Structure 1
Amino acid sequence: MTSSPATPIRGPRSRLWRLVDLGMMYFSKSGAVVVNLLILPQLQRLMSPEEFGLVALFLTVQALLLVFDLGLSLIVGRDVAIAETASGRALRTWRTAELALSAAYIPFLLGALVLAALNLLPFNLGSTALAMLTFLLLTLQNIGYSALIARRDFAVAAGILVTGTMLRGILSFVALLVIAPRLEVFLAVQAGCSLLQYVVTRFRCGYVLERGISSRAIRPPGLPAVTALLWRARSLAVFGIAGALVLQGDKLIISAFSSPLAMAPFYLATTLCLVPISSLAGPVASYFQPAALRAIASRSEAEAVQQLRRMLCALTLVTILPTAILWLLRGPIIELWLVGSPNATLVAGYTAILLPGVCIGAFGFIPYIALLGRGDYGFQARMSGTTTVLTLAMTALMAYQGNIAAICWVYAVYHASSTILSWLRWYYLDRQDGYRIAGQIGTLATVIIACAAVVIGIAAVLF
């Protein structure tokens, strides 16, 4: 950990402004919620089952590659959060990360085009090129978004993200309705909107990160800087790759053993179940992460406890109650969401299994931030790699047997066990250094989750 505290990026914020900032983080997720819950079912009705299966496959790979960024978004977020305002380190890290990721995509793009030309992909050559362009632009945009959030530029970052997400969803629906319900039309709109979103994000990052630094710090990064950054991010790259594979590989495995058509209800169930993490817990983690990282990196135990306790309380409020409502009323909620789709019953059954584990996984943001602040990248890589291999191996076995419900159990255990293992690692490191942060926050979290489980269990029996 860093031995000296970083210069604060912003001065103290009033309670009202802190609530506004947190509200903007939720606003940033509203676009994804609208697209997943409202527009996605419309696309399913417009397109043939085969075409929609390919759209689901595209969205799955897109989500996978947003995490598969060589650990660069995590490094950028950490460096920008703890860097001194005028040091230039934040700007250099962001620009170097963009260059490194763009270079890494060149062989990836060429390989995908060759496979498409040989008819080894379900997409044709043009669709593959559009898909790959979209993946690159959205991943670059995500790195810029991480930098803006770490600099606590919440309002602008949220506005760019929600506008871009909504544009991609709404314009795709309109294009399919007006032009043709074809995969190529969908991908063309996705690529165009992604380009616009990235350009706006990059302009804002340049404006925010260049303020107050000398012109010497604005020089373009060279190959040594790219190599050094990739070496620093190597463990986080493994962590990101493993996370991407485990969260999206299940759908690819199901598609490989059966078909995109069979994968659709599982995709819808996981989309719904990940709301507690992505749309409810995610904004809370993003809001508290910059201050918590600085407190942990500067060895400020009292400040770290304060920030993480606040984060735990916020996660409890925004995660447990919505999860309980969704789990108890999953049948009518899913029927309303899918409007009489024949997949509704399957989606409800998968949701009943997945949701409790995902809810526990939402609390994993706390030890994740603590380990990131301590620079404990190696453990996160080893743990993530091991759990990913085990989870995907079990998924392949269950998919081969055609038991999708068992895959839901595998993933429920994965989400819960990853959180518990991360917390145990944090507790071990704290004990070595004489800290009590993990013990205090962990005890409180355990009591909260246990009480919630008892209450929800009683409600399920009574109602």
Structure 2
Amino acid sequence: MTKDALRRLWPLMMLYAGRMGTALVGLLVLPLFNKLLGPEQFGVIAILLSLQTLLVILDLGLAISIGRDVASLSAEQLPLVRAMLFHAEKVLAVLYAGILLFTLVARLFFDMPLGFSGLLVTVLLFGAITHQNVCQVALLARQDYAWAGVGQLMAVLLRHLLTLACFHLFAATLDVFLYTQCAGAVLYAWLTRTRLLARIPPVDSTLPLPASHARKLSMALMVNGIAGACAMQLDKPIVGALAGAAQTTPYYLATVLSLTPLTFLAGPVVQFFQPKLMASLARSEGLVDPALVRRFLLCIIATAFVPGLVLWLAAEPLTALWLHGAPNHVVVSEYTRILVVGATFGALGYVPHVLLVARQQYTFMAVASLALTTLTLLGTAWAAFHGDVRRICYIYATYHTAAAVVLWWRAQNHDAVLRRALAPVAPVAFLACLSSIVLGLLVLRFT
């Protein structure tokens, strides 16, 4: 590999390094927490980690709007990033103050495993991680890939290694976990904010937020974020409540495995190309570089479709290896083969999604997301009530597929610029879709 090629690939390698942090935590550190804390305390932590993921997504659209706006700013407009950040911090402060008040009131009526100080630290932990994510998105929008990638890796490892160290020095308790996690999150949130502000020219802190940005923090963004988060997070509680915990475990494991290509492989590709497409649109007065769109789609196919095909073909041996031969690995592999077809098909939706965000099509995206989420969760509840988890897998495969189709339809029909940008890659996308349909038919025929 030449130095020039290595230089071009280095930012993408840094983004993959950041995603590896999450993977390492899941594969190495969380089992240690389970062993040290025991099933009861670790059960509380598992719920808290799930809520943490959900709340980062439910940030009132701050990450989406800041990512889009910061990527589109010219060098002369960069001081406006400070006004955007200060506004976002005010919104987050109000949001998490409301969450704290709600939890304290709920504590009066429900039995909770956390006391007052535990709840306070937990809300501060969630707020710090959400704030860190907003700053991280802004850094990605300015294409500071090295800091965003390596920083994410170091932040995750620092928090969890600090927690393990305190477990051994003091005691393996829920309180020690919360305090050490909060300390690590607050420290890294401060470092990320410092890094972002260091890259932005100084400006008067009283500078009013641009009206265009204020409008984007609208109900449409909130609905879009809430609907997407509910679709991806509420299926497990529904299955657990209506079908039972025994049915939830293989479904949860299959979901994690089937989404691995999207989460750890295709995700960094989206982070890499999104700010470049935003900047291209801003520089060329609304035109899109077709070569950039083509490279984006080909990278999505390489990182989602190819691993997805391998996972579909070798679902059973890979699942047996991952679960160390656990008795339920056969059921997990069956569910995985269904879900991975929809997940890989859905990965095609990343391309029109980025273009529609650049066009600020938030209202359409919110309506589409709300409609798909409502139908999906209703179907999930119906199937779970009848104890048919396999049907839930088909429902979620359909959800991912329908979302991609709707986004492509909208991007193709929104305006001539997007239509011209997508025209060169449409044949490749069609072939990828056709392969997914064939795989889906094979699943229906042989499982």
Tell me, yes or no, whether TM beats 0.5.
yes
User: Which residue of structure 2 aligns with residue 162 of structure 1?
Assistant: 153
**Cα gap change, 1:282 to 1:399, in 2 (>3 Å):** same
Give yes or no for contact 1:77–1:150 (8 Å, CA) kept in 2.
yes
Provide, for residues 353-401 of structure 1, a one-character-per-residue CA deviation record: whole Å limited to 9, x for no partner: 2111111222211111110111111101111111111112222223333
Match of 2:352 in 1: 367
What is the correspondence of 1:203-352 to structure 2 with a 5 Å cutoff? 203-210=194-201, 215=202, 217-220=203-206, 225=209, 229-234=213-218, 235-257=220-242, 263-297=248-282, 303-341=288-326, 343-352=328-337
The 1:456/1:377 distance shift into structure 2, 3 A limit, reads closer
State the partner residue of 1:102. 93
Distance 1:228 1:82 in 2: 12
Q: Is the 8 A contact 1:350 1:408 kept in 2?
A: yes
- Residue 44 of structure 2 aligns with which residue? 54
Q: 1:403 aligns with which of 385, 388, 411?
A: 388
Give % identity: 33
Who is 1:5 aligned against?
A: none
C-alpha offsets along residues 250-303 of structure 1, whole Å, 9 cap, x if unaligned?
123334446667644433332222222221111111111112112235556774
CA change 1:185–1:141 in 2 (3 A) is same
Distance 1:122 1:255 in 2: 20
The CA distance in 2 between the partners of 1:131 and 1:278, in whole Å, is 25
User: Which whole-Å deviations, capped at 9, do the CAs of 1:331-363 have from their partners, x for residues lacking one?
Assistant: 332333233445544433332221111112222
What is the aligned partner in structure 1 of residue 422 from structure 2?
438
Q: What SS is found at the alignment partner of 1:436?
A: helix
Aligned partners of 2:61 and 2:225 also within 8 Å: yes
Aligned AA for 2:385?
Y
2:104 is the counterpart of 1:113: yes
* Cα pair distance change 1:56/1:395, threshold 3 Å: farther
Rounded to whole Å, the distance in 2 between the matches of 1:261 and 1:198 is 38
Query: Cα RMSD over matched residues?
Result: 3.1
Q: Is the 8 A contact 2:242 2:384 kept in 1?
A: yes
Amino acid at match of 2:152: L
Partner of 1:10: none
Counterpart AA for 1:219? S
For 1:133 and 1:51, the matched residues in 2 are separated by 20
Q: 2:378 corresponds to which residue?
A: 393
Secondary structure of the residue aligned to 2:60 is coil
Look up the match of 1:16: 6
Are 1:450 and 2:441 an aligned pair? no
- 2:182 alignment partner in structure 1: 191
SS in 2 for 1:395: helix
Q: 1:176 to 1:354 in 2, by over 3 A?
A: farther
What is the letter of the counterpart of residue 360 of structure 1?
F
Letter in 2 for 1:233: L
* Cα separation, 1, equivalents of 2:169 and 2:259: 31
Structure 1 residues 428, 330: closer, same or farther in 2, change over 3 A? Answer: same
Instruction: Say whether the 8 Å CA contact 1:28–1:159 is kept in structure 2.
Output: yes
More moved, 177-186 vs 278-287: 177-186
- 1:174, 1:400 → 2: CA distance? 44
**In structure 2, distance between residues paired with 1:435 and 1:17:** 32
TM superposition shift of 1:420: 0.9
Contact 2:411 2:419 in 1 (8 A): no
In 2: Cα distance, 1:398 partner to 1:455 partner: 23
SS in 2 for 1:152: coil
Answer yes or no: is 1:148 the counterpart of 2:134: no
Check conservation: 1:281, 1:315, Cα contact below 8 A: yes
In 2, Cα distance between the equivalents of 1:402 and 1:147?
A: 44
Secondary structure of 1:158's aligned partner: helix
CA contact (8 A) 1:327 1:355 kept: yes
Aligned pair in 2 of structure 1 residues 260, 231: CA closer, same or farther (>3 Å)?
farther
Structure 1 residues 407, 52: closer, same or farther in 2, change over 3 A? farther
Change (3 A) 1:353 1:46: farther
Query: Which deviations, in whole Å up to 9, do the C-alpha atoms of 1:207-241 show, x marking residues without a partner?
Result: 0123xxxx4x241466xx49975542212221111
Structure 1 length normalisation: TM-score?
0.86
- Please list every run of 5 or more consecutive structure 1 residues that lacks an aligned counterpart in the other structure: 1-12
CA contact (8 A) 1:127 1:184 kept: yes
How many Å separate the matches in 2 of 1:232 and 1:82?
14
Inter-CA distance 409–50: structure 2 relative to 1 (3 Å threshold) = farther
- 3-state DSSP of counterpart to 2:319: helix
TM-score (norm 2): 0.88
Moved more, 338-347 or 351-360: 338-347
- Describe the SS at the equivalent of 1:427: helix
Q: Is the CA contact 2:293–2:422 (under 8 Å) kept in the aligned structure 1?
A: no
Q: Which residue does the alignment assign to 2:368?
A: 383
The question of whether the paired residues in 2 share the 8 Å contact of 1:172 and 1:190 is answered with yes
- Answer with 197-206 or 232-241: which moved more: 232-241
Whether the 8 Å CA contact 1:363–1:419 is kept in 2: the answer is yes
Return closer, same or farther for 1:102/1:117 CA change in 2, 3 Å cut-off.
Answer: same
- Which of these residues, 18, 28, 34, is aligned with residue 28 of structure 1? 18
Shift of 1:444: 1.8
For 1:8, the equivalent position in structure 2 comes to none
CA apart distance, 1:77: 0.7
Give 1:114 deviation, angstroms.
1.8
Number of corresponding residues: 442
